[in-house]
Amino acid sequence: MVELRVTGFEGLDVALEQVARAAFSDFEMSAALRNIGFEYHALLNRQSFSDRPGLISRSGKLKNSVRTRVSGNTQRGHELTISIGDGLPYARTHEDGLTITPKKARALTVPLDSIRSPNGAVKFTLQQLKRKLGRNPVFSLQANNKGFLAVRFKTRAERNRVLGNVRKFIQLEDKKGEGVVVLLYVFKKSVKIPARLHALDLWNSAKMDEIRLKSIESALRSTSRGGI
């Protein structure tokens, strides 16, 4: 899980934060922090959950996991907590990035677009593919100095029927003339998952500084109209 905890208007100019603490009631402080959390959530959705260049949404669980909460009071201090990915082990991977290497095998088998649905999810396992065809059509081959797991279909019609709607068919000319050869997996020694969430970078951005300042200014105007 990725969690951000901010006390009061932490990160602002110290003098301005002291003014806010002195002038704001519990209600005004909480309202200002809730607004900051709301604006941050909206920015995060636009930056990181709008497909490319951010994360490609599959199940939507990570996007729907964002929670903002304001707690505390004037005596104890107010705290804005933003959590992302509670209960989702891959949330931290999307924030920090990760390099995956095989634990026992000599290489990782990485699925290609030929076996991925348009949203990027793998459509079925090799065992499921064998059951669908009623035979074992999977074999390994070398091409362009890389190793692949491939499958040979008797006809293009069989390929379309079995694989269905995928991102893109990656196939080779069958030199034996015995059907259609489609590449399903590529062997790799490691896979680097880049950081794509950038939740902390966004929180520390100039745009969020601007939002924090506007929230304080708005709350101060409200306090002034109230005659304090």
Q: Is the pTM of this model over 0.85?
A: no
**CA 222, 223, 225 angle in degrees (round to 5)?**
65
Tell me if 162 sits within 8 A of 153, measured CB to CB: yes
**CA 196, 65, 86 angle in degrees (round to 5)?**
90
Tell me if 107 sits within 8 A of 100, measured CB to CB: no
Stretch 123-129: mean pLDDT: 88
Q: Tell me the C-alpha to C-alpha distance, in Å, between residue 145 and each of 110, 133, 162, 188, 228.
A: 16, 29, 28, 12, 75
Look over the chain and give the mean of its residue pLDDT values, rounded to a whole number: 83
CA dihedral of residues 198, 193, 118, 86 (deg, nearest 10): -50
Q: Which residue has the higher pLDDT, 223 or 202?
A: 202
Label residue 227 by pLDDT band (50, 70, 90). very low
Tell me which DSSP letter residue 22 carries.
H
